[in-house]
Chain A
Amino acid sequence: MSTIYTALSQCVIRNVGAPTVADIIIYTAVSLCAIGIASSVILYFVARKFRVEEDPRIDRVEELLPGANCGGCGQPGCRGLAEAIVKANSLEGFTCPVGGASTMSGIATVLGLEIDTRLPRIAVARCNGDADRRPRSSHYDGYASCAVVHALYRGETDCPFGCLGLGDCARSCLFNALDMSAGGLPVISEEACLACGACVQACPRKIIELRDKGPKSRRVFVGCMNRDRGASPRKACGAACLGCGKCVKECSFEAIVIENNLAYIDPRKCKLCRKCVSSCPTGAINEVNFPPRKVALETMKFEPEN
């Protein structure tokens, strides 16, 4: 340092008049170097002082995630999910609908965690009240949104719990897995649905449930949300769960409970025997992806007595 200053001072002494071009170049270079060195020292200490400790595992987890940033996991993008997983240091309750089980097991290996052994899930719509079974009692011609109708009145049919049929769920689906049928009910594609849960959030009547996909995609579930008692569900819809309890009696595995006049089948206890399906007097219980039944005498026995 001192030699530089000596050289500089000599230059200044020698050229008392206007500086030459060479002088200007030298001054510039030297002063820039000085500023650079000073800044690097300052930055070094600032960086030490304000260093952010970040878990390196977050980056590694993020690399494994698909990077779609769809928000289907409920976190703000893939980075958000990675941060949440590392922070919780557990995979419980976290799932990547796009990457699926392979991604999650990859993350589990990286973090040395147990894999969440949750079975793949799928959205199911718990309403069977299509146009034939559930007659319309009023006509709505306002803004086409289930949320608006739900806030306004009970809807075009007499069922205050059932599907409103205007497709808020279909619009919310980012994977084109959900369409409205001609009868006005949501139809969910087995292949396309990634169980991200967007439709569950979008439905103002909470009809859609994320359910275990089941072995060979076979599922048995109650296709009704009507919690009313007495005659009103039957009047409103031909496929309503009346809370009669026949299915509960029929079930050998205690998989069915009735709460608020509505049956619910626990997918973990259900052994897919399908006895409840034929016992239901209104046909409110759905079976999906089973091979066609052999018409047997025992199913005839459970026809409703009218």
Chain B
Amino acid sequence: MLKTFTLGGIHPAGNKLSSRGAIVPLPLPDQVAIPLSQHSGFPATPLVAKGDRVKVGQLIGAAAGFISANIHSSVSGIVVGVEAVADASGYARTAVIIRVEGDEWDENIGRQESPDRYLSAFSKDDMLLAIQSAGIVGMGGATFPTRVKLSPPPGSHPEWLIINGVECEPFLTADHRLMLEKSRELLIGIRFLMKALGVERAVIGIENNKPDAIASMREAVVKHALGIEVCPLRVKYPQGSEKQLIQAIAGRRVPPGALPISVGVVVHNVGTVYAVYEAVTMHKPLVERVVTVTGTSLARPGNYLCRVGTPVARLIEAAGGLPGDTGKVVVGGPMMGKALVTTDVVVTKGTSGVLVIPRKEARRKPPRDCIRCAKCVNACPMGLEPYLLMTLGEKQRTDDLEAARVTDCIECGSCSFTCPAHRSLLDVIRLGKSRVNQAIHARKQS
């Protein structure tokens, strides 16, 4: 019996259309818009102005505080402006717009792994510095600055490093392809992270629907890094969520409101590990990432290595163009992704996929009254009562919402997915959660 988390979970159709498509570098776009806030925390401070000439990897935004991240230019060219550009939600955020000219890289960056920058030549501090200056953030989607995750608060003892290769969102295959094609590099990256954290034990969690990735990682472990475990997991959404993954692999339960480090675990995504490998061995900042472009109506679903700041439209073109019957273009996966208002929105550090949904499938069914079937309660991986949270949210009963632990909600969408009455459970719960968080914040202030 394979491991998985105990409470709730659902089984959406996998639809991994692009799992056989090798990672292809995307041709450079004519212009990129690099948002200064691609991470959770404070937006970076811009360091360039209109008319400046920049190279690939040049620092263009400096981290503003501890919970923030550096932003580097992903292309070479001329800064056209530092302007407000619509992000995935359609609201304007400040971005550096660069017109692409050639592909000239910063001199300090190696395009290839240099042997002297390999393995134990680095101290813990060297590595932390490299990760911080490269502007690496969690690439699974939460975009939390990696450097912060690697500095456990005093008094905590990290014991396990768990590598998240679950990729439980349907359709997405970016992490899958990385594990297949870059097994060796990932293992080097894992060893860097182990050293940075001072842990002895590392486990890579991979769902059982990727047997080739499991085999490839196992083979690489035998060759390069004995001691690192590969742990196949039973397929269940949302296994890629940090708390669920920790429960599945380590059997430990993160208390509500606490960080994984409180149970001695640190989780990093496969994409993040690859970025760490590149940052340490090649001095390469996070300027490009693998993005899955997929959808049942697309001509050529695939996985593309693309520069941060590339418009989503360019990725869709590469995958065969936007089909005429498109209803939604979603960044991220179908469960937690965000539908776009325009395809001019750019790829950021946290963009794992672009999903094109035909009009017929995109439409939501009209909601009906709750029939009290409790399917949402059974599906909730956090043991909450979504039907109750929705009702309390509609009635704006903030205190009761807080008592019903709405802040534990991980917004995975399992409740909405499973509801036979098509109720928009998550939409209302998310709103209630933000109201509760505001109330908690206000209480702390006073």
- Spell out A's residues near B (CB within 8 Å): 137-138, 141-143, 145, 147-148, 151-155, 158, 160, 228
Contact = CB atoms under 8 A, between A and B. Distances in A.
A143 B338 CA distance: 15
A258 B183 CA distance: 58
A interface secondary structure, majority: loop
B160 to A, nearest CB: 35
Contacts of A141: 363-364
A198 to B, nearest CB: 12
B86 interface: yes
Given A138-B341, A143-B427, A153-B90, 13 more contacts: A142-B364, A142-B424, A142-B427, A143-B428, A145-B431, A148-B430, A151-B434, A152-B89, A152-B427, A154-B86, A154-B91, A155-B90, A158-B90
11 contacts: A137-B341, A141-B364, A142-B364, A145-B428, A147-B431, A148-B424, A151-B434, A153-B91, A153-B339, A160-B90, A160-B91
Interface residues of B, number: 19
B97 to A, nearest CB: 14
B382 to A, nearest CB: 20
B440 interface: no
A154 B93 CA distance: 12
A290 B12 CA distance: 60
A240 to B, nearest CB: 15
A141 B327 CA distance: 12
5 smallest beta-carbon distances between A and B, as pairs: A154-B90, A143-B424, A143-B427, A153-B89, A153-B90
A228 B86 CA distance: 12
B439 interface: no
Contact of B89 (A143, A148, A154, A228): A154
Interface in B350-392: 363-364, 367
B92 interface: yes
Contacts of B86: 154
B338 A153 contact: yes
Contacts of A228: 84, 92
Interface string B417-439: 00000001001101100100000
Contact of B92 (A143, A151, A160): A160
A154 B341 contact: yes
B341 A153 contact: yes
Interface of B: 84, 86, 89-92, 338-339, 341-342, 363-364, 367, 424, 427-428, 430-431, 434
Contacts of B89: 152-154
Nearest to B84: A228
A145 B434 CA distance: 15
A258 B428 CA distance: 36
A151 B91 contact: no
Contacts of B92: 160, 228
Contacts of A138: 339, 341
Q: Tell me which of B364, B367, B427, B434 has the highest count of chain A C-beta atoms within 10 A of its own C-beta.
A: B427
Contact of A148 (B338, B342, B364, B427): B427
A39 B132 CA distance: 75
Contacts of B342: 137
B433 to A, nearest CB: 10
Given A141-B364, A153-B89, A154-B90, A148 B341 contact: no
A130 B90 CA distance: 20
A148 B169 CA distance: 23
Q: Tell me which of B84, B341, B430 has the highest count of chain A C-beta atoms within 10 A of its own C-beta.
A: B341
A154 B427 CA distance: 15
A152 B431 CA distance: 9
A225 to B, nearest CB: 14
A154 to B, nearest CB: 3
Given A137-B341, A141-B364, A148 B91 contact: no
A138 B329 CA distance: 11
Contacts of A145: 427-428, 431
A138 B364 CA distance: 14
A38 to B, nearest CB: 44
Contacts of B338: 153
A143 B428 CA distance: 8
Contacts of B430: 148, 151
A190 B348 CA distance: 49
Nearest to B366: A141
A153 B341 CA distance: 8
A137 B387 CA distance: 32
A148 B90 contact: no
A138 B90 CA distance: 11
Nearest to B364: A141
A151 B434 CA distance: 9
Q: Tell me which of A142, A143, A155 has the highest count of chain B C-beta atoms within 10 A of its own C-beta.
A: A143
B398 to A, nearest CB: 13
B301 to A, nearest CB: 24
